[in-house]
Amino acid sequence: MTDFTANSSVSHPRGFALLPWIAQFFRGLTSGYQAYRTYERLSRKNDSELAAIGLTRADLPRVAAEELLDAN
């Protein structure tokens, strides 16, 4: 049988350096999904409903992209 002992002086494994990158990755996914939802919600409106809020169909990609940029 082999005994294992923990050495408290060992530094954190390099895997912990990935944690900020992983967190940023998921924030990006969330932001992208929110932009997608904004685009989908607006695209379901008819032209007169869009006009009432000052938008046209041509504005929808820009509005979704702005949502994406504002989230970051």
For 56-65, the pLDDT digits (tens) are 999 999 999 9
> Exposure pattern of 31-40 as b/e (b: 16+ CB <10 Å)?
beeebeebbe
Query: Is residue 70 a part of any domain in this protein?
Result: yes
Query: Is residue 50 a part of any domain in this protein?
Result: yes
Identify the band that residue 68 occupies on the pLDDT scale cut at 50, 70 and 90: confident
| Residues ≥6 apart with Cβ < 8 Å to 38 | 63, 64, 67
Query: Is residue 39 a part of any domain in this protein?
Result: no
**Distance between terminal CA atoms of the chain?**
53
- Range of 68's domain? 46-72
State pLDDT tens for residues 1-19: 555 555 555 555 666 778 8
Query: Is residue 22 a part of any domain in this protein?
Result: no
Query: Is residue 2 a part of any domain in this protein?
Result: no
Query: Is residue 52 a part of any domain in this protein?
Result: yes
CA dihedral 49, 53, 55, 57 (to 10 degrees): -30
C-alpha to C-alpha distance for 16 and 35, rounded to whole angstroms: 30
Amino acid identity at 11? S
